Structure 1
């Protein structure tokens, strides 16, 4: 289909191109499926398919990083350099290509870099404390104050930030009852501090969980997948993201990219309690992303290009 984007709109925006491509493909699929399936089922399947495609698109950075981790685990000895060094160069290549192709905007890349630095700082502290180890040798790494971290590790945190930033744009997030941003920034600072201080002072993570629930308890995220507007409690969204990060971490440890103390004698599933840590870390990333993408209130107007695409989506019925 042509004419979805006006000539002076932003066709180079990747999320616009994705929606425009789906707007050309889905009418064909709906006509074919509509010959054998009820209209309501065809529409539901279209919505589900669009959701999967857009989630995969948002996960692109993390998916490529995970693919690199898996591939280098199954092909040892093939690479001319250490595995961790290759993963660092692979991550640099991904990030550079994202910027050149505008899959990420410079402001987003800056926020993701900040989270990369935040994550690397925590990695140095945690490896020094023996919380986990990187068992393989590498050249491109930091070794400070007893901690030793291959630099690719920071990109795993960057992948979380990339996913969140791309999801906001891809699904056109809008919110009701979003808390004041100064309060969320304070929460993020307390969370990050506790990752260090709990080794010496009482762990306040349960108080942080409670504070997050108070701040975001009434917040609802409204998002459009394809034809319909959906909504869910933001806390549920946070939980689902943390769950998938935990699943990815199990893959990472199964390939020995990093190991927890109870996995060094033989791999076992990562403790489900670790999901709480990822939940808190993901909140830090989310707060950083909101500094670039101000949370929009429900009903706040979209840009012209996005409105044109949404209009085109509504016209496509089986």
Structure 2
């Protein structure tokens, strides 16, 4: 929804195009990862390669990550957050593979507890997207209750482990997020106009696109769920909620970095060291 008055109807198609183009730019790292997966499927299915597919993907994603920093598409501070989310994701992968939640069917020598190291970059790509979105959309969060949201994000991550031995608390945690984020909005810029969206809705929308990405990842045989061993089919829609919860942890990590860079959450305004940019108001 627009921040002030809605732009004229003739501008709406342009704004949608600009929004889509910016989203694609924010997804540069995830897109690069999936292009690598697709290319590896084509090559490794047709040619007997001396290097295992998962090991080649690890080299590829490392080169992509270094290129992003060298080209200044990501800062060193953002890289630190992305690496942290890589480790968090890798730890989750190791546990989930151990309990049989999914498997990595292709060959690869560079593994940790049966998990190919490149898999952590799929989680890192989520952090990369959020870092890019903060910058490219000039994101500001109003009424962001960092303490409760951080505790809930940690609880959501812990629940991925604990629900194997105790009750699954994801719905209680999701309800907690709705309460903690009630009234919180994400403000973003598209084509010079400011818009806003409920923060909880933004988490859900990211979860939807991550579920779609997960379907693409399993289709490209990056990993497989037990019910996909006989043949690929859509990932259960229940995974959508899992991704929406998991992305909150990445969001909290990135928000903490942005706070250090000068953005304060809770009052709906950004306090930065540089002079504010002039924006058109409609």
Deviation of the 1:256 alpha carbon: 1.2
* Residue matched to 2:229: 264
Please state if 1:191 is matched with 2:161: no
Q: Please give the residue correspondences for 1:39-118 in structure 2 after superposition, counting only pairs within 5 Å.
A: 40-76=8-44, 77-78=46-47, 79-118=49-88
Deviation of the 1:72 alpha carbon: 1.2
Please state if 1:228 is matched with 2:172: no
Deviation of the 1:151 alpha carbon: 0.6
Unaligned runs of 5+ in 1: 1-38
| Structure 1: distance between partners of 2:158 and 2:184 | 25
Q: 1:93 to 1:276 in 2, by over 3 A?
A: same
Q: Whose radius of gyration is greater, 1 or 2?
A: 1
| Structure 1: distance between partners of 2:235 and 2:140 | 34
Q: Is the 8 A contact 2:143 2:268 kept in 1?
A: no
Superimposed CA distance per residue, residues 82-122 of structure 1 (whole angstroms, 9 cap, x where no aligned partner):
11111111110111011111111111111111111011011
* Residue matched to 2:107: 137
Q: 1:96 to 1:305 in 2, by over 3 A?
A: farther
* Residue matched to 2:142: 176
* Residue matched to 1:120: 90
Unaligned runs of 5+ in 2: 1-6
CA RMSD of aligned residues (A): 2.0
TM-score (norm 2): 0.90
Please state if 1:154 is matched with 2:89: no
Deviation of the 1:41 alpha carbon: 4.7
SS at match of 1:291: helix
Count, aligned residues: 269
TM-score (norm 1): 0.80
* Residue matched to 1:17: none
| Structure 1: distance between partners of 2:169 and 2:8 | 48
Q: 1:67 to 1:278 in 2, by over 3 A?
A: same
Please state if 1:283 is matched with 2:248: yes
Stretches of 4+ moved more than 6 A in 1?
none
| Structure 1: distance between partners of 2:89 and 2:178 | 23
Q: Please, which moves more after superposition, 289-298 or 120-129?
A: 289-298
